[in-house]
Amino acid sequence: MTKAEKVVWTEGMFLRPHHFQRTESYLLNHVREWGALQRSYLWGFLDLELDEAMLRQGCIALSYCSGLLPDGTFFQVRSDRNGPAPLKIPDNLTNEKVVLALPVRRGGREEVIFSEEQSSLARFITFGHEGED
């Protein structure tokens, strides 16, 4: 990914979504660099809640989780809105790691899609939400 440059905001500037995307990229780049300087292992789960009913059925399903990925990406997952599909664990599988991951951020690749596509390597998918003021 190319290093994001600061957007200079001026009076009367014609605003486009790209300006906000570049500003966000610039700020997130600073957060990632700051985190990398703080500690090598400044990542992991802040909260993790598994669906116990699904565990009894041999599946791993997230009810809720939040945290920070090694690249500095914050995440928050709720099963009712944006959680990954439950992962069926075969009966003969033991002592294996299960990870939560996003595709690697790459310049020129779309980061957001508006409908789920199995072949997409986008990092995020949109969903509707009625927010309160």
Of 105, 124, 82, the closest CA to residue 25 belongs to 105
pLDDT in tens, 1-56: 456 778 888 899 899 998 898 888 888 888 777 776 666 677 889 899 999 999 99
H or E element at residue 48: strand 44-50
Tokens of 110: 């779309």
The mean pLDDT of the chain is 83
Q: What local confidence, expressed as pLDDT, does residue 30 receive?
A: 80
The structural domains of the chain, with segments of one domain joined by +, span 1-40, 43-125
